Amino acid sequence: MTNSSSHSELLSGSGEHRQGSTDSDEVLIELVRALYPRKPYCLVEDWTIFRAKVTEDELQKIHAAGKLPLVLFAHNVRFDSERRFDVGDWVRSTMAMSFHEGFLFETWNTVYVLTGPGHEKSASLETIFSFF
């Protein structure tokens, strides 16, 4: 697959509509601090969750590593507890370890708090990681 067709796969269509939290930033920060007291967190909006298209063997390896075949891309960082990202930056996560309540996307290093509307799409791992 060429890069341009990979990018077309990733960008074509809007994907399935998903809804993140509509609570205020203050409420969300309090919640994430209570649930994940020692973990950095990042509030994001205008996001897409990419569900990796993997074989059964690849899925078993992903699960054996304690991960899910999900990667987050957000166009807009609203707040980062560690100031790794500026407000308005984009971010792409590593694979998720957990995904709770439809808006708490946990990776090894960070809990991403999904706010407002977003999308979910399927793409190959190669495509997901080659684009961003």
> Would you state the pLDDT for residue 125?
84
* pLDDT score of 128: 85
Number of residues that this document lists for the chain: 132
Task: Quote the pTM value.
Answer: 0.88
Q: Which residues of the chain have pLDDT under 50?
A: 1-4, 6, 8
DSSP collapsed to 3 states, the chain: CCHHHHHHHHHCCCCEEEECECCCHHHHHHHHHHHCCCCCEEEEEEEEEEEEECCHHHHHHHHHCCCCCEEEEEEEEEEECCCCCCCCCCEEEEECCEEECCCEEECCCCEEEEECEEEEEEEEHHHHHHHC
pLDDT of residue 15: 85
